[in-house]
């Protein structure tokens, strides 16, 4: 292929217990997927008719142990700890009953958010891109294969910042469970291998500052550590 400049290297994530990497295609996110978090944001909880979706760029994903630069244009960077689902296959209009067949594995990530810019976007009915889709906005752990750990429907999801617990919940409390998220997304987008899905955050979101060290864990699945610089 004759490109006018070298194409960027495809972003990817490591796989636990393997030297192979998981190549990334798209990053989808669902919002308001835990009732307590929707309440703390003063938002309505997601309902069956109206899941809230947005996207992040795949090159915004950063790996475990990375230094995450504090982003420009915000004075209120927030953490949102979330289970992350990685797809090894795709499709359109996938029934919830077959959705888990698409799943390669699971990890834990942070949906980093410029909360001040999101508040402006919400107030003015503007898109969320500048609040959600910035560079380095998606730290993600190494992935664990579903063939190794199965498909967790309940597991403790925690975030510590500088050793203090900020978020502590169970993924069983999600409004839309993973099969339903995949089914709903596939009505809107053709899903493909390499897609990641951030599954929403529980209550306890708060600000991060330069120098903060974070440790996210989805019990029995994955750990993500890093530092805001």
Q: Does 33 bind Mn ion (CB under 5 A)?
A: no
216 binds Mn ion per the rule CB under 5 A = no
Cα 30 to Cα 25: distance, rounded to the nearest angstrom: 17
- If you write DSSP's letter for every residue of 112-156 in order, what string do you get? -EEHHHHHHHHHTT--SHHHHS-TT-EEBPPBEEHHHH---SS-E
CA 46 – CA 174 distance, rounded (Å): 10
Decide whether 17 or 127 has the Cβ nearer to Mn ion: 127
Among residues 60 and 145, whose Cβ is nearest to Mn ion? 60
- Of 64, 111, 184, 195, the residue at the interface with Mn ion (CB under 5 A) is 111
Q: Give me the numbers of helices (H) and strands (E) for the chain, helices first please.
A: 6, 18
Question: Residue with the closest Cβ to Mn ion?
Answer: 111
**Minimum distance from residue 66 beta carbon to Mn ion (Å):** 19
Taking the CA atoms of 140, 143, 146 and 150 in sequence, report the sign of the dihedral they define: negative
Q: Which of 64, 80, 184, 217 binds Mn ion (CB under 5 A)?
A: 80
State the nearest-atom distance from the C-beta of 9 to Mn ion, in Å: 27
Q: State phi, psi for 116 to the nearest 5 degrees.
A: -65, -40
Min dist. Cβ of residue 34 to Mn ion (A): 9
Q: Does residue number 201 form part of the binding site for Mn ion (CB under 5 A)?
A: yes
Comparison of 94 and 133: residue with beta carbon closer to Mn ion: 133
**# binding residues, Mn ion (CB under 5 A):** 3
Closest CA to 13 of 1, 5, 25, 28: 25
Binding stretches for Mn ion (CB under 5 A): 80, 111, 201
């Amino acid at each position: 292929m004759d490109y006018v400049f070298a194409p960027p290297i495809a972003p990817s994530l490591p796989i636990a217990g393997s030297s192979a990497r998981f190549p990334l295609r798209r990053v989808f996110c669902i919002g308001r997927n835990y009732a307590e978090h929707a309440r703390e944001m003063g938002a309505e909880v997601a309902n069956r008719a109206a899941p809230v979706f947005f996207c992040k760029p795949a090159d915004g994903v950063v790996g475990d142990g990375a230094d995450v630069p504090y982003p420009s244009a915000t004075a209120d960077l927030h953490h949102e700890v979330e289970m992350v689902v990685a797809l090894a296959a795709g499709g359109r209009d996938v029934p919830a009953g077959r959705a888990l067949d698409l799943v390669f594995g699971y990890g834990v990530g942070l949906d980093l958010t410029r909360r001040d810019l999101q508040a402006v976007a919400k107030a003015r009915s503007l898109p969320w891109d500048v609040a959600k889709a910035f560079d380095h906005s998606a730290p993600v752990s190494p992935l664990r294969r579903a063939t190794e750990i199965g498909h967790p429907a309940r597991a403790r999801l925690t975030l510590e910042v500088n050793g203090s617990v900020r978020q502590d919940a169970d993924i069983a409390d999600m409004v839309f469970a993973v099969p339903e998220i995949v089914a709903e997304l596939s009505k809107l987008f053709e899903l493909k291998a390499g897609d990641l899905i951030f599954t929403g955050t529980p209550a306890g979101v708060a600000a991060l500052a330069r120098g903060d060290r974070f440790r996210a864990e989805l019990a029995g699945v994955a750990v993500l550590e890093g530092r805001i610089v």
